[in-house]
Chains A and B, each alone.
Chain A
Amino acid sequence: MSDVPDGLPSDAENISLGGFNRHAGPIWRLAADGEMRRFALPVHDKHMNGSGSVHGGLLMTFADIAMSQTSRAASGAKSCSTVALTCDFVGPAKLGEILECRVRVTRKTRTMVFLSADIAVGARPVAVATGLWKIV
């Protein structure tokens, strides 16, 4: 698609089309790397805090959306609800950088999905998250 921003592969797909996601994004789904599902978020001015770094709320939002997508895909459920999410803020990210979130399914049961995610800019770690999703 022609609206894929510079720095992303041309097959990237915008997954933030409605509701809150549309305000928080755009967030792009990238091709999976084996078991690892990958998502990208180019940092815009609206994502920044007052100190010139990406807002922690945006990093947790990105992790939540990427992990929710992954839990839906892994479970085949139409909908999954976030039950718990823990996030460590490892390093800052700046305006214009492209955040990449890599999500792994730790375990899937009949009713729950356990996930972990790493957010990085290139090889530089920015945040690490783990979470628990309920299959609705």
Chain B
Amino acid sequence: MSVPSGSRGEKGARRFGLRVDKRHVNMRGVIHGGMLMTFADAAFGQAAWDACDHAPVVTLNMQSQFLAPAREGDWIEFAPVLTRRTRSLLFLRGDFTVDGQPIYSVSSVWKILARIRTGQPAGARHRSWPRPRG
């Protein structure tokens, strides 16, 4: 499924946006929870990938709270926050907003996979990285 969306900003501080169109809404004209969760998973995936220098990452878990509806034509913004990075795990969270109002709150745990080519343990290359701000 193609998703008209984009990202801006420096690596590690990207912001994501989505213009809601008729493909994204349910029969009541409200954006589908599945669409928001899919958008979150894709944005978190990019943020997680950035945070570990493009090592392979997988979603372990995602917790979603649907605060308010978004409708066709709305512009949704999302700036994922990296709460913590350990050697093998990434903790991410964020709020989706429309016109500055939160509509969807989400947090997620990701696993950094070992690099298969080198056999290094997960995150081994990045131990000296500074802790993420935020």
List residues of A whose CB falls within 8 A of some B CB: 18-21, 23-24, 46, 49, 51, 53, 55-58, 60-62, 64-65, 79, 81-89
A-contacting 9-mer, from B27-35, B82-90, B91-99: B27-35
A79 to B25, CA, bound (A): 15
Q: What is the interface residue range for chain B against chain A? A: 20 to 34
A85: B residues at CB distance < 8 A: 33, 37, 63-64, 66
B37 partner residues in chain A, CB cutoff 8 A: 56-57, 60-61, 64, 85, 87
Return the contact of B59 from the options A18, A19, A20, A89 (Cβ within 8 A).
A89
**Contacts of B39 on A, CB cut-off 8 Å?**
57
Whether B1 lies near A23 (C-beta < 8 A) is yes
Q: When the two chains form their complex, are residues B33 and A57 in contact, meaning their CB atoms are under 8 A apart?
A: no
Contact A64 B33 (CB under 8 A): yes
B58 within 8 A of A: yes
Q: Is the CB of A20 within 8 A of B35?
A: yes
Can you pick out 17 interface pairs between chain A and chain B where the beta carbons lie within 8 Å of each other?
A: A19-B27, A19-B32, A24-B1, A53-B58, A57-B40, A57-B41, A60-B34, A60-B37, A61-B37, A61-B38, A79-B28, A82-B64, A83-B66, A86-B64, A87-B62, A88-B60, A89-B62
- The answer to whether the Cβ of B14 comes within 8 Å of any Cβ in the partner chain is no
Known: A55-B38, A64-B34. A83 touches B65 (CB 8 A): yes
Instruction: Known pairs A21-B26, A60-B37, A83-B66; list 17 more (Cβ under 8 Å).
Output: A18-B27, A19-B25, A21-B32, A46-B1, A55-B41, A57-B37, A58-B34, A60-B41, A61-B34, A64-B33, A79-B28, A83-B65, A84-B65, A85-B33, A85-B63, A87-B61, A89-B62
Task: Select which of A20, A82, A86 is within 8 A of B61 by beta carbon.
Answer: A86
**Does A24 lie within 8 Å of B61, measured CB to CB?**
no
Inter-subunit contact A56/B56 (CB<8 Å): no
A60 to B34, CA, bound (A): 6
B29-55 CB contacts (< 8 Å) to partner A: 31-35, 37-42, 45
* A86 touches which of B1, B22, B23, B62 (Cβ 8 Å): B62
Residues of A near B65 (CB, < 8 A) are 83-84
Interface centre among B32, B39, B45, B60, by most A CB within 10 Å? B32
